């Protein structure tokens, strides 16, 4: 027999918020285990004690940010709209039906006037990570880092072309090692100096803080990069750091690794990263800090160049290469270029192999 629901929109319900919200609600679990009351102490200096109108509860304002992040809502306007009709959200915020929820402009005004130029969001993030550590949800030894591009609210076709002068980044520690090797071989050290490179970049006319992001097989446009580090034990995010979209993944890595080590007292032993982090500086950082690092695999050179180099075997004790098929030896005669590549040749100089001064690092991580 067919059932037809009659109009019950005006029916009075005798129930409580506690009864409406499911027992297995994610927001119940969060409310049970995360103590948000620390926020009051964090923000007290941002409010006036004896003047002005009564404020919205600051914990409510920051819980709204949690709701937006946890449910992937695209805007604060949409989040505040959903809060009005969602029982779970109201329960989490402590606002029963019949009472007004904050308007999206309330959050935006508080952000602009109180929170924008403060470190309050980072302080709250750090405190919640510390609570996770107390619950033994963070091991603090094994981490994974990657970045995700976030689309800026900016039209990719509206930009200014600008020419910027960039001083090329130098590895002074490597330059010193190369010159030490040249002096050891009785050769004149190289004279290194800053090099200025002019680059054409696109600058959004809408959001100048974003950067133009363009990578193979990915969406192009003005973006931000969200660099995140996750602890291995329970996938707790321990660091989130935002840069322009045209910043290389590896650029902030060492600074952020040092940040979490000192901020939380972690004893970092292992790191997993993708091939975008496969730089000499990061390899050096892992080795010097006794960290077992795993990089996504990347091939260098052409199939022909790899095939050519595979003909030879390196003998570390003698610092020579020999040809596997003929046994012919290629010796290092003290020639090293400005980039740190040593030159190995046979007697008549018809066969040449180049080896970086820190090629053994590549072999370790490979």
Q: Are residues 119 and 152 in the same domain?
A: no
Give domain status of residue 234, yes or no: yes
Give domain status of residue 93, yes or no: yes
Q: Are residues 249 and 313 in the same domain?
A: no
Q: pLDDT at position 301, please?
A: 77
Q: Are 221 and 212 in contact (CB under 8 A)?
A: yes
Is the pLDDT score of 328 beyond 90? yes
Q: Are residues 21 and 87 in the same domain?
A: yes
Is the pLDDT score of 24 beyond 70? yes
Is the pLDDT score of 260 beyond 90? yes
Q: Are residues 162 and 117 in the same domain?
A: no
Q: Are residues 155 and 213 in the same domain?
A: yes
What pLDDT, in 10s, does the model give residues 95-135? 988 888 988 888 888 888 888 888 999 999 999 999 999 99
Number of domains in the chain: 3
Is the pLDDT score of 32 beyond 70? yes
Is the pLDDT score of 56 beyond 90? no
Q: pLDDT at position 81, please?
A: 93
Domain end position, chosen among 77, 107, 132: 132
Q: pLDDT at position 47, please?
A: 80
Q: Are residues 112 and 62 in the same domain?
A: yes
What pLDDT, in 10s, does the model give residues 135-185? 999 999 999 999 999 999 999 999 999 998 888 889 999 999 999 999 999
Q: Are residues 148 and 255 in the same domain?
A: yes
Q: Are 80 and 101 in contact (CB under 8 A)?
A: yes
Distance between CA atoms of 287 and 304, rounded to whole angstroms? 31
Per-residue confidence band for 335, with pLDDT thresholds at 50, 70 and 90: very high
Give domain status of residue 255, yes or no: yes
- Could you give the 3-state DSSP secondary structure of residue 231? strand
Give domain status of residue 295, yes or no: no
Q: pLDDT at position 8, please?
A: 67
Distance between CA atoms of 279 and 297, rounded to whole angstroms? 12
Is the pLDDT score of 318 beyond 90? yes
Q: pLDDT at position 221, please?
A: 93
Average pLDDT score over residue span 267-287: 95
Q: Are residues 23 and 128 in the same domain?
A: yes
SS3 for 137-193 is: CCCCCEEEEEEEEEECCCCCCCEEEEEEEEECCCCHHHHHHHHHHHHHCCCCCCCCC
Domain end position, chosen among 132, 161, 183: 132
Share of the chain above pLDDT 70, in %: 96
Q: Are residues 25 and 79 in the same domain?
A: yes
Q: Are residues 163 and 238 in the same domain?
A: yes
- Could you give the 3-state DSSP secondary structure of residue 292? strand
Give domain status of residue 290, yes or no: no
Nearest by Cα to 26 from 84, 88, 97? 88
Domain with 228, as residue range(s), is 144-260
pTM across the whole model: 0.87
Domain end position, chosen among 85, 102, 132: 132
Give domain status of residue 124, yes or no: yes
Q: Are residues 245 and 325 in the same domain?
A: no
Give domain status of residue 99, yes or no: yes
Q: Are residues 160 and 114 in the same domain?
A: no
- Listed range (5-9, 126-130, 208-212, 282-286) with the worst mean pLDDT: 5-9
Higher pLDDT, 1 or 33: 33
Give domain status of residue 177, yes or no: yes
Average pLDDT score over residue span 64-93: 92
């Amino acid at each position: 027999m067919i059932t037809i629901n009659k109009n019950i929109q005006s029916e009075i319900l005798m129930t409580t918020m506690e009864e409406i919200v499911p027992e297995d609600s994610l927001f119940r679990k969060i409310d049970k285990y995360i103590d948000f009351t620390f926020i009051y102490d964090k923000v007290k200096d941002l409010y006036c004690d004896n003047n002005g109108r009564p404020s919205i509860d600051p914990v409510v304002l920051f819980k709204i940010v949690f709701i937006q992040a946890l449910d992937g809502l695209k805007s604060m306007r949409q989040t505040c709209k959903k809060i009005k009709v969602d029982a779970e959200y109201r329960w989490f915020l402590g606002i029963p039906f019949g009472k007004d929820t904050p308007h999206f402009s309330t959050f935006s005004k508080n952000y602009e006037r109180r929170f924008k130029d403060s470190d309050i969001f980072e302080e709250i993030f750090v405190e919640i990570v510390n609570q996770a550590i107390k619950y033994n949800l963070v091991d603090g030894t094994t981490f994974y880092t990657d970045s995700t591009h976030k689309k800026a609210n900016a039209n990719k076709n509206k930009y200014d072309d600008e020419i910027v002068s960039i001083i090329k980044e130098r590895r002074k520690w490597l330059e010193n090692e190369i010159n030490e090797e040249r002096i050891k071989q009785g050769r004149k050290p190289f004279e290194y100096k800053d090099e200025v490179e002019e680059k054409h970049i696109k600058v959004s006319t809408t959001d100048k803080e974003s950067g133009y992001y363009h990578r193979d097989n990915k969406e192009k446009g003005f973006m931000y990069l969200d660099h995140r580090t996750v602890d291995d034990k329970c996938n707790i995010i321990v660091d989130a750091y935002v840069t322009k979209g045209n910043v290389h993944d590896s650029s902030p890595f060492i600074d952020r690794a040092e940040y979490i080590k000192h901020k939380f007292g972690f004893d970092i032993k292992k790191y997993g990263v993708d091939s975008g982090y496969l730089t000499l500086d990061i390899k050096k950082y892992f080795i010097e800090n006794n960290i077992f690092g795993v990089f996504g695999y990347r091939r260098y050179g052409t199939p022909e160049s790899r095939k050519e180099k595979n003909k030879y075997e390196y003998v570390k004790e003698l610092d020579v290469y020999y040809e596997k098929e003929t046994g012919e030896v290629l010796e290092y005669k003290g020639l090293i270029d400005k980039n740190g590549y040593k030159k190995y040749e046979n007697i008549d100089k018809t066969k040449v192999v180049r080896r970086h001064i820190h090629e053994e690092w590549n072999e370790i991580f490979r």
